[in-house]
Structure 1
Amino acid sequence: MADRFKEWRREAGRGQHQEEFFVSLLVALSLGIAAGRFFPVIPVMPGMVLLGCLIVWAAWSIYRSSMQVWPVFLLAVFCLGLLRLQTSLLLPVDDLSHFAGQELQVEGKMAEEPQVREHSDGSRSVRYCIQAEAVTLSGSGTQHASGRLYVYARSPKDRAPVLPQIGDSLTAHGSLRLPHGIHNPGQIDTELLLRSQGITAVLIAGKSGAAVKALNDSRASVWTRLLRRLAVVREHYLSSMQAVMPKEDAAAIFAMLFGGYQGLKSELLEAFTITGIVHILSVSGSHISLLAAVMAWLGSFFRLPQLVRAMLVVLAIAAYSLLAGLVPPVIRSALMGGLSFLALALNREKDARRLLLLTGLLMLTVSPLLLFHISFQLSFAATAGLLYVAPVVRARLRRMHVPSSLAAGLSITFAAQAATLPILAWYFNQLSLSSFLANLVVVPIVEFIIIVGIAAGVAAFVLPFAGKLAYAGDSLLLGAVYELTSWMASLPGSRVWIPSFSWGAVLIYYAALSLFACKEPWRHRILDGLYARKACLAAVCALFLAAGTGYRLSQADLMTLAAIDCGQGDALLLRTPHGKTVLFDSGGERDGNEPGAFNTGQRVILPYLRHYGIHELNAIFLTHAHADHAGGAGAVLRTMPVGRVYTADEGREAYAQSMGIGSADALLQKLQPAQEGQSFDLDGVRIEVVFAPPSSGKGAASGNEASNVYRIVYGGASFLITGDLTKEREEMILKKGKNIRCTVLKVGHHGSNTSSSEAFLQAAAPRYAVICVGAGNRFGHPKPEVLERLKGLGIKILRTDQNGEIVFFTNGKTIRARTYLD
């Protein structure tokens, strides 16, 4: 085995094994980029000198045909990735992000088309993307500024929103903030995602909204005029569709053509997600490959020379990419899908794999933040699966006498699912089993809808009636697609929930998948080598198994309480030593329960539970009915089994409104008011209802004054959950002589000065104070005086806006805290 390895290294030093070399370079570059987030910042000049030395060393190794060529190249590429990541995070001194936290006026040019969302009250929210040029601070002059930002403005229902074109000047006044996302395991990193798109700040416009100064076409650059014309063409497509079909159908077909989720029917989106074909609603490599295949077929039909057909495919991909807006995801899809298709069409499968690897290397070198972008992760992994795994699966199916067309469809679906499984498990915790059926039955129909839709838009310019007829047919086909996907999504086992992979499991999984997909001689060599060392391998496995078993036994008596980062709201998850789970409050309110809005229960709480493999809750305890505490419970109750829901004494109607549940919904039968003095025992963990104010004679108490207080006790560790408890209610609890001693205090009302009196804090005497609060919230929480009060008592403060998810581990004797961002 050692001799074979030496021979392999000598061959590599002579330029053989190029594909394996590119794979190792891509892995090294990715590891370097990932390490760049954790390494101390390396000064640019010393870093460049180090990289230059490594490149010279690599060149010398090539000249000497040394066996050191490969490892030296890997080290150089690793350092390149590390340096590129760190330099990409550096911002110029005049970048807008340096003005965060201030009220100011910003001026800039529109970089993208505005995005509009209608609300149930008739008002509309608009998101503008602008390239900043200047800022004006109150009390000082105008300063030059750079960087892109999103400006959010809201127009009342009696006033039309301002909708500028690309290149127009926009001025807005408001509060400038840094982008901030949700920091829980499995959540998409919003800050890095926006940074990869060049967005470094967000401005919330005041009541005055935004003012626009139009740029005349004659004064616009050629590129700006082109982008405007393309926007007009896209608008022509959308308006042509809306003229002959319902708005929701038009939104769905438009999304299939050009990407986006605006105006989509939530049921359609859910059905597409469950059946694993939601990628159809974003411009992806499959769109590019479909377009390329159609153009290649046309070239063959007209018997064009191979070179002309290739040029036709390239031109079609370029035109479609321009029409789709030439945004980064479209460019990535065009590069990866287009190059791979051309190589495969020319019967150069090996070259297709090399092109994919080279494209990945180039894209990550130019924009290293793409490594953390879910779109890049999924598209690259899926394309790699199609090129490496699908041929192996297809060959095996053909040996089993599976028909060629069926083998092709099954191998493509299996390869894409297998290559992306750890990514899907991390972000979504689900695997679509119905995707095999959906890809065989539904996707061909959707592909036909896309081709007809593109052709109909062209036809509508020349023959409007023909365009309308084609769009009407598309609408009918979309109805069939919706019925089929809804039926498939409702099938038993249409999707299975899977836990997130550990890093060790990810490495083992991809190593096994690589072994499955590698060339036959290499697979036999590796398996023979492993078999020859089976005793050593068995010993290593036994050692890991023993270590894992020992670790699990050491954790058997641990209870955990996690403060979930859900923005400006409260949500805490209790897990007992034997796996029983209880949710205390459930966050909510960001956009309420409006259709298409950000639903905290659906987008934060449920993904968090699934990330940890939790698919049912023993109970939910809600402190009171305010939406930022109870709003997320509606999505949880609709999605997974829940035992009982204990509430404050405010009446079911108040909770129904916060949760977005109908007042006659049977789910409300699960709700019952908690009674002061009640106690619940789960696996030796005791939940006490310390305070539950009764309803008054005029009706149920409401608001912060109605907040229940719960105390969790496990051995010598205790946790006090106070909701939005007011100082007056704190005083009432103290007068009653209630036991509120705790190890961890969930600070009342997000750190507002209406809670957390000195006397209450002294009586509770916690070691830790947890503040559930949203970054840059409009209330100014937590208040400085509350923070000073906590610090003065020597209490360690942890905040979800600064620390992300906060988890406490205790065996009843000792306690430790772990935060997601630290």
Structure 2
Amino acid sequence: MVTGKWFYAAIAALSGVMLIFEFHTLTLILILIGFIRIILEKEKKLLIFFSAFFIFSMVLAFINEKNNTSLFDQGSTSMYVTFHEVPQIDGNRLKAIVNSTNEKLLLHYTIQNEEEKLMLEMNIHAGTICPIAGELVIPERNRNQFTFNYGQYLYRQNIHWILETNRLSWNECYYSKPSFRAFLQNIRAVGVKYVESSFPEQLIPYANALIFGDRSSFAEDTYRTYQQIGVVHLLAISGLHIAFLVGLIYLIFLRLGIPKETIYWLLMVILPIYAVISGSNPPVIRAVLMTLLLLTSKKWRLPFTTLDALSISFITFLSIDPYLIYHAGFQLSFCVTFCLIVSSKSIFEKTHSYIRKMTDISIVSTLASFPILAFHFFEFSLIGIIANVLFVPFYTAVVLPSILSLFTIKFFSERLFAFLADFIAALVYYSEQFALMLSLNNFSTIVTGKPSMYSIIFMVIGAYLYVFLNEKRKTRIVAVLPLTLIMLIHMASIQYSPKGEVIFIDIGQGDSTLIKLPYNRGTYLIDTGGQLSFPEPEWQERKKPFQVGRQILIPVLKSKGIRKIDKLILTHSDTDHIGAAKELFGEIIINEIYISPNSWENDLMGEILNSAGKYDIPVFEEKAGTGWENKSGRFQFIFPFDDHYEGNNSSLVLFAIFGGLSWIFMGDVEKEGEEEIIRAYEKLNANVLKVGHHGSKTSSTFDFIHFVQPDFAIISAGYKNRYGHPHKQVLDILEENKVYIYRTDEQGAIHYLFTKRGGTFHTVMK
């Protein structure tokens, strides 16, 4: 292969994998562009190499896809499993990837008591073999559009089953001779525990992240702050860290008088070992592979450029695991590095100042990552360009060297460690506060919505044009203009779409309904869902418990390009309707909150309104007779009738006409409230009834259903919920009245997509 041409082999490898995994028109267009580009090079050998890598990767991807099947059947099972990794023990939950008969399974176990937790932490390691009796369960399908697809995520790791067990006897396990990889994983686990037991609390997450690649210790709010300002990559081990580590090793070993020849061979051993100890994430493996290739090229005078090293690393990754093309970290690592390499000539001109170089690096990195962040997370950090200029030098020159030094000093001088650790902890604390200040700016993060494949292609073209125009010495404004226009057109097409949408979000056992009107005429959220929480011992508390708002509601909103809610309607004070409201504050701009009269007397509602006050969100108490209207629809509250708050039967009930249908959203109104509504209104027909109280038998009486005469009924209930919702009696009444039923517990989120002429329903699961 000719020097500098390995990039074409990487494109061929990607094309071959995409053809098998993503066979559609756009993939074929991309492959055709690749072949045309090779033909224009007018090099026969290059075309042969391109074709060879294309066919090789296509065959490899086909074999992987064909072999990605299971040997097991669903149901009860009893087997011996080998722990593929050190188990993750968080509170009372143990989770680990295990192997049985050469197939990977995901083990779930709920720890029974604190003593058992301690024994499991001491006795279960990578390489441990245990007898397990349990149930093989299919990973649950995605229940909401564009949220994290856990089943798909596991499939791409060749995991087809979750092994659930209610018994894990550590004293029946035994430790076989582990593989070298398992041995290193156990060393990593020991290192993480050592940091947790010996470092100041402020520094624990940073030490574990920057030494061992473990970011689980970060508080949710702190980690989110770094995401919002676009510097979260500094908390992951990547090329920057590997370069620093290699430089440090060279400096120390040369001072010790070790020849460069010996240092080279030591690095060939040390770096792969460190890649495993630091978590084996794609960015660190990519950095290690590139470093080893470049060191080898220099030593043996091989004709490899930096771009060649990146391309060979890419091909190596896909040869080992083609499914990595779906990994966000893999995509970001290679795309950002590629753009920095091809822009390096213009970035590192001698005439440029240090600030200019840092700014150029930050701009290129931000633009290169923009399409990927938009696709996976529906947002990107605009302020990241400035934040990276400030934080990258601080982490490179201060935080990273300090953390590595502290870890070493701890073994030699406790007093010096304590003195330096307190100083570094203070610096880190103030950097966190500065990051928080930057993140509070409403424009720090741009919500893009979920881009279509066509939008992604144009975004990639825009990023490429920036690099190209920058290379041609065009001004930054001219260079960034194409991508800016593409981004604005994409966001405008989402924000001002002529189509509106109603989403009955599958929030679990609870309620949350999104109404997004056409042309951005209104965005309304009725309830937020929420989880009931109960007091539990400290040992059972999880570092990052499941949060309905952060893990379901906010991703759904941002996938639709929603950064602002015009009206948040909190029907009543039950946790399963409003518990996640506080999680929206600071993430989503809320113009107004509507509540039922005097529902603020409830403690939970009071807490939510206090939090809303910190964000200057006005709150209005509403009841029957109030409402609003615009060009796309009319909305009116029809219940409650008085100011006395009595729980479910004081729920705000909204009647609306839009999208060619009439709607009633019932909250948790029960039989008594339904009777009041029947007495108050002579006629109240609606095409769509959002069934009250999740289909409980205390609501939706025959008289009420006959009175409303809906064509469609929507029931929001949790999958296999413990309350038995929806009740058979309610389903029978609806069927008797010939009402078509949609259920979130069986069908996932329910969507109604509409224009002014009407619309259609569809569901996520079936």
TM-score normalized by structure 1? Answer: 0.75
SS in 1 for 2:572: coil
Aligned to 2:71: 92
Aligned to 1:810: 754
Partners of 2:128 and 2:175 within 8 A in 1 = no
CA distance in 2, matches of 1:341, 1:657: 60
CA distance in 1, matches of 2:725, 2:297: 57
Cα shift at 1:787: 5.8
Partners of 1:588 and 1:631 within 8 A in 2 = yes
Map of 1:8-407 to 2, 5 A cutoff? 18-19=5-6, 21-35=8-22, 76=55, 79-80=58-59, 83-84=62-63, 86-87=65-66, 89-94=68-73, 98-99=74-75, 108-117=81-90, 124-131=91-98, 133=100, 147-153=104-110, 162-163=120-121, 164-166=123-125, 167-168=127-128, 177-180=137-140, 183-184=143-144, 186-202=146-162, 210-213=168-171, 215=173, 224-225=182-183, 227-241=185-199, 245=200, 247-298=201-252, 306-324=260-278, 326-329=279-282, 332-333=285-286, 335=288, 338-339=291-292, 342=295, 351-389=305-343, 391-395=344-348, 398=349, 401-403=351-353, 405-407=354-356
Aligned to 2:34: none
Residue identity matched to 2:557:
L
Cα shift at 1:568: 3.3
Aligned to 2:512: 571
SS in 1 for 2:8: helix
Partners of 2:8 and 2:50 within 8 A in 1 = no
1:709 aligns with 2:669: no
Cα shift at 1:652: 0.8
SS in 2 for 1:808: strand
From 589, 592, 602, the counterpart of 1:654: 602
Aligned to 2:37: none
Residue identity matched to 1:411:
D
Residue identity matched to 1:575:
K
Partners of 2:332 and 2:369 within 8 A in 1 = yes
CA distance in 2, matches of 1:327, 1:606: 30
1:537-566 per-position Cα deviation (integer Å, ceiling 9, x unaligned): xxxxxxx9xx9999999964x432122343
Note the aligned Cα RMSD (angstroms): 4.6
Cα shift at 1:583: 0.9
From 589, 595, 604, the counterpart of 2:531: 589
Aligned to 2:565: 617
Cα shift at 1:796: 4.8
Cα shift at 1:717: 1.0
Map of 1:492-511 to 2, 5 A cutoff? 494-511=444-461
From 376, 398, 404, the counterpart of 1:427: 376
Cα shift at 1:92: 1.9
CA distance in 1, matches of 2:446, 2:586: 18
Partners of 1:622 and 1:647 within 8 A in 2 = yes
CA distance in 1, matches of 2:368, 2:89: 36
Residue identity matched to 2:400:
I
CA distance in 2, matches of 1:16, 1:315: 27
Partners of 1:587 and 1:630 within 8 A in 2 = yes
Unpaired runs of 5+ residues, structure 1, are 1-13, 40-63, 118-123, 134-143, 525-543
Change (3 A) 1:599 1:394: same
Cα shift at 1:450: 2.9
Change (3 A) 1:761 1:171: farther
From 557, 562, 566, the counterpart of 2:503: 562
CA distance in 1, matches of 2:194, 2:491: 62
1:702-741 per-position Cα deviation (integer Å, ceiling 9, x unaligned): 2x44433322212641223223344554455445556553
Aligned to 1:724: 668
The more displaced of 475-484 and 415-424 is 475-484
From 387, 394, 409, the counterpart of 2:358: 409
The more displaced of 344-353 and 686-695 is 344-353
1:2-38 per-position Cα deviation (integer Å, ceiling 9, x unaligned): xxxxxxxxxxxx9898345324314413522542699
Map of 1:531-570 to 2, 5 A cutoff? 556=498, 558-570=499-511
Unpaired runs of 5+ residues, structure 2, are 27-42, 474-485, 536-540
Partners of 1:726 and 1:748 within 8 A in 2 = yes
Change (3 A) 1:674 1:204: farther
1:95-121 per-position Cα deviation (integer Å, ceiling 9, x unaligned): xxx23xx7x87864444334344xxxx
CA distance in 2, matches of 1:665, 1:383: 44
Residue identity matched to 1:561:
V
CA distance in 2, matches of 1:267, 1:153: 26
Partners of 1:572 and 1:583 within 8 A in 2 = yes
Residue identity matched to 1:212:
W
SS in 2 for 1:213: helix
Residue identity matched to 2:689:
L
Residue identity matched to 2:388:
N
1:674 aligns with 2:622: yes
Change (3 A) 1:305 1:513: farther
Higher relative contact order (CA 8 A, sep 6+): 2
1:597-653 per-position Cα deviation (integer Å, ceiling 9, x unaligned): 333223433333333333322211222222222122223244444333222346214
Partners of 2:4 and 2:305 within 8 A in 1 = no
SS in 1 for 2:410: helix
Change (3 A) 1:429 1:341: farther
CA distance in 1, matches of 2:79, 2:693: 33
Residue identity matched to 1:636:
L
CA distance in 2, matches of 1:71, 1:232: 45
CA distance in 2, matches of 1:750, 1:251: 41
CA distance in 2, matches of 1:170, 1:653: 53
Aligned to 2:637: 689
How high is the sequence identity, in percent, across the aligned residues? 21
Aligned to 1:3: none
Partners of 1:653 and 1:663 within 8 A in 2 = no
1:158-187 per-position Cα deviation (integer Å, ceiling 9, x unaligned): 986543421445677777643337654553
Aligned to 1:744: 688
Aligned to 2:476: none
SS in 2 for 1:574: strand
Cα shift at 1:276: 1.6
SS in 1 for 2:169: strand
CA distance in 1, matches of 2:561, 2:340: 29
Change (3 A) 1:65 1:105: closer
Residue identity matched to 1:564:
I
Partners of 2:136 and 2:163 within 8 A in 1 = yes
Partners of 1:126 and 1:153 within 8 A in 2 = yes
Partners of 2:13 and 2:58 within 8 A in 1 = no
Change (3 A) 1:72 1:201: same
1:481 aligns with 2:431: yes
Partners of 1:183 and 1:820 within 8 A in 2 = yes
SS in 2 for 1:475: helix
Aligned to 1:61: none
Residue identity matched to 2:505:
I
1:117-136 per-position Cα deviation (integer Å, ceiling 9, x unaligned): 4xxxxxx3322315265xxx
CA distance in 2, matches of 1:742, 1:809: 18
